[in-house]
């Protein structure tokens, strides 16, 4: 860190930093340590004692076909959420960027969903697709399509993906629009002089310039779909049907709190710890390289 | 000539109305779920359970909202709203205060363990509540903090992001200011209160918008910590309003609650749009 003017004394800074260090130690490091510790044991059914099993919980975990399926579910879910939120957002941002007047109004309208909690978004979409009263499922029924996300795993996945992606469109839109507005006018003008039409310019010049921000958003959206979509899944499907929408975070919750399988839940927490670590490293590696957007 | 080039690129002519059409279509599609929830909150239950439901608001707005607010289903929604406000504001204010203090300590002092503490705070980024739910729940339970505001707030209050942000900002404050106040014999806390804090106003406000929404929209943690309906927050309480068995949900009241749950964060985001966008961009850097 750079040389700076500093104040003397060491008890004051320790006092200043103490609240945060204390909260981090008690509610972050101790529980994380506990998770790692517990993942090495199997508690007896009465919770009175536990038996050391080493990596037994992990071996069991990865031989469990439901857990492996949950990995795949998470991967599919997070990729779909990222794509379903980034593509419409990019399209809308390109449109908004073309407008001189009125883009502010559209922006104000489009940022609303960001403020809507994932769990509330879940309720809104559940309402539209509810098998009994949902207006969309009713019209689908009239078109001859029998919508039932309670029984059909693919439809359940589709619904949680849309409900999760919906609020993210706002977020991605804001970042894409900022990036588009930062594209140098002169580059666009040069291409225009060469006779490149709007979409041609978009594909050959604008999109490549947007790729850093697109990659950044991809990572951020994947992190979002991993850790912040619990509310959507819990309100719409509760992980079902047949665990078809049970993502990793949902499984930690359902095994730990509903199933009371603490050893397995702790082992799953540790696996997630690695996943977050990996995603954070990717994010930082990228941010280091990012010059501007 | 320059004007002509400008004309070639600028957005005018035939394409413009099409652009507006796409934008309006986009806004309508994105807005539709909220509109539908609003309509559902203004009609009667029979109008909803016999699909298709109307697409235009009815005249039951007052009935549904007052029922939700003052009697609710498990607990009056007004109680949940109060809980949500307490939780969201405490988390936002708490995070800002402890982050300001620790960032100040890290930037303006050299003390034993400084680097260690910096990394310790920083690495909490890798420990979202979702990966440590069971043990964190046990810690909170052992403190007897289940069903309490403390239990709702403290485990979410440490924020590496905010600390990092303030640290970055403090590093841009000219050294001369600290030098001058040191020469004047001002104490570090005087310097903090008179110079650093006023200079950080915009950052604090931008961060507040983001953190308020973060706190308000929490779901998993309140779901675990609050088993008594009186302590429910509105975002997690909605799910509890659905009947468990085959009964039909009371949609108008549930939808009125959904609308009530989104009003505060929407007002914050829309009215403080500039700060919000700034906070968003800053906190992801």
Chain A residues in contact with B191 (beta carbon < 8 A): 7
Average pLDDT estimate for A178-184: 87
Q: Which of B8, B105, B281 sits opposite A13 (nearest CB)?
A: B105
Residue at a domain's end among B70, B104, B123: B70
In a domain, A243, yes or no: yes
In a domain, A83, yes or no: yes
Q: A251-273: per-residue pLDDT in tens? A: 989 888 887 777 888 889 889 88
With CB atoms and an 8 Å threshold, state whether A120 touches B261: yes
Mutation target vs A (from B110, B127, B192, B225; most A CBs, 10 A cutoff): B127
* B258/B219 same-domain check: yes
In a domain, A149, yes or no: yes
Instruction: Give me the pLDDT at residue A291, please.
Output: 38
Q: What b/e sequence results for B223-250 when a residue is b if at least 16 CB atoms lie within 10 Å of its CB, and e otherwise?
A: bbbbeeeebbbbbbbbbbbeeeeeeebb
Number of compact structural domains in chain B: 2
Question: Torsion over CA of A262, A263, A269 and A273, rounded to 10 degrees?
Answer: 150
Copy the structure tokens of residue A228.
């912040």
Number of compact structural domains in chain A: 1
Q: Indicate the pLDDT class of residue A293, thresholds 50, 70 and 90.
A: very low
With CB atoms and an 8 Å threshold, state whether A133 touches B220: no
> Domain of B31?
2-70
* B47/B93 same-domain check: no
Instruction: Give the residue ranges of DSSP H helices in A99-242.
Output: 103-110, 112-115, 118-129, 135-142, 153-181, 185-193, 198-201, 207-227, 230-236
Chain B residues in contact with A252 (beta carbon < 8 A): 130-131, 133-134
Which CATH number is B201's domain given?
Answer: 1.10.3720.10
Q: Does B114 touch chain A (CB under 8 A)?
A: yes
Copy the structure tokens of residue A143.
């078109």
Separation between Cα atoms, residue A228 and residue B219, nearest integer Å: 9
Mutation target vs B (from A10, A87, A120, A216; most B CBs, 10 A cutoff): A120
**Number of neighbouring beta carbons within 10 Å of residue A269:** 28
Mutation target vs A (from B24, B33, B102; most A CBs, 10 A cutoff): B33
* B91/B59 same-domain check: no
Residue A58, min C-alpha distance to chain B (Å):
16
Chain A residues in contact with B268 (beta carbon < 8 A): 115
> Domain of A103?
65-289
Copy the structure tokens of residue B120.
């310790």
Residue A109, min C-alpha distance to chain B (Å):
7
Asked whether the CA dihedral A270, A273, A275, A281 is positive or negative, the reply is: negative
With CB atoms and an 8 Å threshold, state whether A114 touches B269: yes
With CB atoms and an 8 Å threshold, state whether A124 touches B37: yes
Q: A207-227 and A65-98 are packed helices; what angle lies between their axes, rounded to 10 degrees?
A: 140
In a domain, A9, yes or no: no
Instruction: Give me the pLDDT at residue A49, please.
Output: 73
* B238/B121 same-domain check: yes
Q: Does B145 touch chain A (CB under 8 A)?
A: no
In a domain, A155, yes or no: yes
* B152/B21 same-domain check: no
Chain B residues in contact with A178 (beta carbon < 8 A): 277, 281
Q: A58-108: per-residue pLDDT in tens? A: 888 888 888 999 999 999 999 999 999 999 999 999 988 888 777 788 888
* B50/B179 same-domain check: no
Pick the more confident residue, A131 or A124. A124
With CB atoms and an 8 Å threshold, state whether B117 touches A21: yes
Nearest C-alpha in A relative to B186:
A7
Separation between Cα atoms, residue A39 and residue A96, nearest integer Å: 50
* B83/B102 same-domain check: yes
Chain B residues in contact with A7 (beta carbon < 8 A): 108-109, 178, 182, 188, 191
Q: Does B128 touch chain A (CB under 8 A)?
A: yes
Instruction: Give me the pLDDT at residue B196, please.
Output: 93
Q: Is pLDDT above 70 for A2?
A: no
Furthest-apart CA atoms within chain B: distance in Å: 77
Lowest mean pLDDT among A46-55, A187-196, B89-98, B129-138: A46-55
Q: How many contacts does A have with B, using Cβ atoms within 8 A?
A: 307
* B146/B13 same-domain check: no
With CB atoms and an 8 Å threshold, state whether B40 touches A127: yes
Average pLDDT estimate for A113-124: 93
In a domain, A75, yes or no: yes
Residue reference for tokens 């819990």: A234
With CB atoms and an 8 Å threshold, state whether B132 touches A28: yes
Lowest mean pLDDT among A40-49, A141-150, A194-203, B75-84: A40-49
In a domain, A39, yes or no: no
Residue B221, min C-alpha distance to chain A (Å):
10
Q: What is the pTM of this model?
A: 0.89
Task: Print pLDDT tens along chain B (285 aa).
Answer: 344 444 455 444 556 888 889 999 999 999 999 999 999 999 999 888 887 888 899 888 999 999 999 988 889 999 999 999 999 999 999 999 999 999 999 999 998 888 899 889 888 877 787 778 888 998 999 999 999 999 999 998 877 888 988 998 998 898 888 888 888 888 889 999 999 999 999 999 989 998 999 999 999 999 999 989 999 999 999 988 988 766 788 899 999 999 999 999 999 988 888 888 877 777 765
Chain A residues in contact with B49 (beta carbon < 8 A): 132-133
Residue at a domain's end among B21, B45, B70: B70
Which CATH number is A129's domain given?
Answer: 1.10.3720.10
Q: Indicate the pLDDT class of residue A121, thresholds 50, 70 and 90.
A: very high
In a domain, A29, yes or no: no
Instruction: Give me the pLDDT at residue B9, please.
Output: 54
Task: With a threshold of 0.90, tell me whether the complex ipTM lies above it.
Answer: no
Distances (CA, A) of A22 to A18, A44, B98, B116, B146: 6, 32, 11, 14, 19
Q: B96-108: per-residue pLDDT in tens? A: 999 999 999 999 9
Residues 54-73 of B with CB under 8 A from A: 55
Q: Does B117 touch chain A (CB under 8 A)?
A: yes
Q: Indicate the pLDDT class of residue A288, thresholds 50, 70 and 90.
A: low
Residue at a domain's end among B19, B52, B70: B70
Residue B241 near residue B254, CB atoms below 8 Å: yes
Copy the structure tokens of residue A126.
């559940």
The tally of CA atoms less than 13 A away on the side-chain side of residue A211 is 7
Lowest mean pLDDT among A141-155, A278-292, B231-245: A278-292
Instruction: Give me the pLDDT at residue A1, please.
Output: 47
Nearest C-alpha in A relative to B252:
A127
Instruction: Give me the pLDDT at residue B82, please.
Output: 96
Q: Which of A12, A132, A276 sits opposite B128 (nearest CB)?
A: A276
Q: Tabulate helix, strand, coil % of chain B (nearest 5).
A: 75, 0, 25
* B29/B117 same-domain check: no
* B132/B60 same-domain check: no
Residues 233-272 of B with CB under 8 A from A: 235-236, 238-239, 248, 251, 254-255, 258, 261-262, 265-266, 268-270
* B62/B137 same-domain check: no
Nearest C-alpha in A relative to B108:
A6
With CB atoms and an 8 Å threshold, state whether A96 touches B23: yes
With CB atoms and an 8 Å threshold, state whether B131 touches A4: no
* B152/B266 same-domain check: yes
Q: Which of A134, A138, A277 sits opposite B126 (nearest CB)?
A: A277
With CB atoms and an 8 Å threshold, state whether A31 touches B135: yes
């Amino acid at each position: 860190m750079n040389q700076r003017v500093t104040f003397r004394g060491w008890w004051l800074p320790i006092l200043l930093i103490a609240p945060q260090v204390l909260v981090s130690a008690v509610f972050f490091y101790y529980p994380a340590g506990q998770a790692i510790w517990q993942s090495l044991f199997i508690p007896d059914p009465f919770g009175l004692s536990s038996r050391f099993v080493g990596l037994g919980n992990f071996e069991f975990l990865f031989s469990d076909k439901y857990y492996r399926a949950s990995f795949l579910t998470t991967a599919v879910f997070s990729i779909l959420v990222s794509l379903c939120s980034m593509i419409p957002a990019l399209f809308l941002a390109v449109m908004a960027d073309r407008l001189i007047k009125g883009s502010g109004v559209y922006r104000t309208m489009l940022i609303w969903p960001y403020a809507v909690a994932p769990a509330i978004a879940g309720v809104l979409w559940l309402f539209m697709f509810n098998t009994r009263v949902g207006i969309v499922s009713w019209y689908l029924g009239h078109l001859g399509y029998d919508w039932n996300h309670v029984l059909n795993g693919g439809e359940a996945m589709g619904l949680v993906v849309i409900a999760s992606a919906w609020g993210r469109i706002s977020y991605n839109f804001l970042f894409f629009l900022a990036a588009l507005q930062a594209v140098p006018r002169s580059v666009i003008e040069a291409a225009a002089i060469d006779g490149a039409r709007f979409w041609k310019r978009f594909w050959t010049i604008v999109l490549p310039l947007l790729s850093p921000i697109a990659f950044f958003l991809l990572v951020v959206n994947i992190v979002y779909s991993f850790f912040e979509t619990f509310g959507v899944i819990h309100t719409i499907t509760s992980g079902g049907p047949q665990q078809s929408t049970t993502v990793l975070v949902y499984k930690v919750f359902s095994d730990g709190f509903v199933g009371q399988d603490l050893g397995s839940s702790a082992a799953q927490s540790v696996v997630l710890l690695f996943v977050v670590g990996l995603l954070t490293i990717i994010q930082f590696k990228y941010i280091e390289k990012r010059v501007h957007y | 000539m320059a004007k002509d080039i400008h004309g070639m690129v600028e957005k005018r002519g035939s394409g413009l109305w099409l652009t507006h059409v796409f934008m309006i279509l986009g806004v309508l599609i994105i807005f539709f779920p909220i509109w539908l929830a609003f309509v559902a909150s203004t009609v009667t239950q029979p109008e909803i359970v016999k699909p298709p439901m109307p697409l235009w608001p009815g005249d039951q707005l007052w009935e549904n909202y007052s029922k939700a607010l003052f009697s609710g289903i498990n607990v009056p929604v007004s109680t949940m709203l109060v809980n949500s406000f307490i939780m969201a504001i405490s988390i936002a204010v708490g995070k800002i205060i402890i982050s300001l203090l620790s960032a100040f300590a890290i930037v303006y002092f050299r003390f034993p363990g400084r680097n260690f503490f910096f990394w310790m705070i920083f690495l909490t980024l890798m420990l979202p509540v979702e990966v440590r739910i069971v043990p964190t729940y046990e810690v909170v339970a052992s403190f007897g903090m289940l069903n309490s505001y403390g239990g709702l707030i403290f485990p979410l209050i440490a924020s590496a992001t905010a600390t990092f942000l303030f640290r970055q900002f403090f590093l841009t404050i000219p050294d001369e200011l600290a030098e001058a106040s040191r020469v004047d014999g001002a104490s570090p806390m005087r310097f903090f209160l008179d110079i650093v804090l006023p200079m950080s106003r915009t950052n604090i406000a931008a961060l507040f918008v983001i953190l308020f929404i973060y706190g308000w929209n929490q779901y998993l943690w309140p779901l675990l910590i609050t088993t008594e309906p009186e302590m429910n927050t509105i975002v997690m309480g909605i799910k509890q309003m659905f009947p468990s068995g085959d009964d039909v949900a009371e949609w108008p009241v549930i939808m009125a609650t959904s609308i009530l749950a989104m009003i505060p964060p929407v007002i914050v985001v829309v009215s403080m749009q500039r700060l919000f966008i700034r906070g968003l961009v800053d906190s992801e850097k």
